[in-house]
Structure 1
Amino acid sequence: MTTHTPFTEKYKPRAFNEIVFGSEEVKIMMQMYEKGFKSGSLILWGTQGTGKSTIANLLPAAIEGKKTTVDVIHAKEIKGNLYQLINRMQNGRNLAHLQDQRYYLVIEEFAFHDENCSVFWTELDKIQGDSMVIICTNEINKLPRSLTSRCECLEVLPASPEQFLGRAKWILGQEGLLLSDPVVLKALQSVAHLRDNRKYLRHLETVVGMYRLQQDGLVVNAR
């Protein structure tokens, strides 16, 4: 039996230039970080499935121009203990400095307002220049103002069908399926209301599956 890899894994961006941005503003800002025209801590916020984590994990390598170690921590791991997070940051920075590297930390689903938050943003002030912290959150309204004021805050929007069209046609081509722009666009538009880039990939997977069933002689109406 052939092992099937879901499109959400098979075709997720592996390099920064494969990301489909839903906002020209975010795309330009990311290019500025990549080229070294901007630096400092970053907050990427928006609904699920818009590519926040993908951007956060691929941006460091784009900045460095090579594969780069990224320290990723989920907010649930620290269970609101900001001192644990600060220790993680300090240890990571020390190790990176020993290796003559810049320290990159990605914090997933950071969404709490704690009385001890001041110790975290104080630490952020210390590391500016030799480290970069990227925070991903679905709920920016839960972050304290003293934190958001210290970071570049960017809303990551889902890609529109038109923006995702080129990537979709490339994916279909990799699967041996050549469809016209209007057909592919219609397929993308059917799930655009879900505002989730992963839904595009799942729907393309369905489209490919239906066409392959047709090739096997089964009666399926491909959409």
Structure 2
Amino acid sequence: MYSPKTLGDVVFHDAETKELVLKHAKPNNFRNLLLYGPPGTGKTTVANLIATTIYPPQPTQLELLKINGSMNRSIDDVRKNIEPKCRVNVLRPPHLFIVIINEAERMTTEAQDALRGVMDDCNDVKFILTTNYLEKIEKPIQSRCQKVVMYPADEQTWEKPVRNLLKSWGIDWKDELPKCVMQYAGQDNRQLIEELEDWAEDVKEELAQINVIEMPSKSKKKGK
């Protein structure tokens, strides 16, 4: 499945959100982030891209720890899988250690309390949390993060990126974009991309069949 390679490739729902994300994707401005919004809006993708955007010229100075909150949801998971690594990396400047926790709302209240303590004790470690449900993230965690809301981009916002994607796949589409794809605009970015890829494959097959049919007629003209 297609996935943006840079933050500039991400289709945000508005310019203000994109500007906010780009602002914090710099070493001097980087702080703990909490990306929240409905499923399929690119929160995990943006979290990963923010981390790799911080030190692109010197990737050896960046280390990532990726945690799934649904699988590491207990206080023991925080103490065993997150806290020890954070405390070790605090002692390694100018090494930057970033912890990405997806589905953070799945962590128990006790686990979130323990995570808050790690965030306070390990100021040099940065956290990026993603969640579908902001209300399930404890207030003390929220207060320690810059919150960024992410919604699905609408049809108008998707128009140009979709045509650019099609062109990059060898399809220069001038007609109206298919409703089977654009119906997901404003609802689910991930589903829109999946439908677009399926539709593009069908178009490529149709174009290939047309080329096969036309080739014999062209050869006959050359023969004459």
TM-score normalised according to structure 2 size: 0.79
Indicate the larger mover: 144-153 or 165-174: 165-174
Q: 1:40 to 1:173 in 2, by over 3 A?
A: same
Unpaired runs of 5+ residues, structure 2, are: 211-224
Instruction: Identify the residue that residue 192 of structure 1 maps to in structure 2.
Output: 185
| 1:165–1:185 CA contact under 8 A, matched in 2 | no
Deviations 1:21-73 (A, max 9, x none): 11323211112112346332111111111000001111012122344432101
Instruction: Identify the residue that residue 209 of structure 1 maps to in structure 2.
Output: 201
Which one of 173, 176, 180 corresponds to residue 183 of structure 1? 176
Instruction: Identify the residue that residue 133 of structure 1 maps to in structure 2.
Output: 127
Which one of 33, 45, 56 corresponds to residue 36 of structure 2? 45
Which one of 64, 70, 76 corresponds to residue 70 of structure 1? 64
Matched residue count: 204
Secondary structure at 1:106's aligned position in 2?
A: strand
Deviations 1:162-181 (A, max 9, x none): 2223321222112211012x
Q: For 1:75 and 1:122, how far apart are their aligned partners in 2? A: 17
Instruction: Identify the residue that residue 6 of structure 1 maps to in structure 2.
Output: none
| 2:78–2:114 CA contact under 8 A, matched in 1 | no
TM-score normalised according to structure 1 size: 0.80
Whichever of the two has the greater Rg, that structure is 2
Matches within 5 A, 1:2-41: 9=1, 11-36=2-27, 38-41=29-32
Cα RMSD after superposing both structures? 2.4
Q: For 2:39 and 2:8, how far apart are their aligned partners in 1? A: 21
- Aligned-residue sequence identity (percent) comes to 21
| 1:161–1:185 CA contact under 8 A, matched in 2 | no
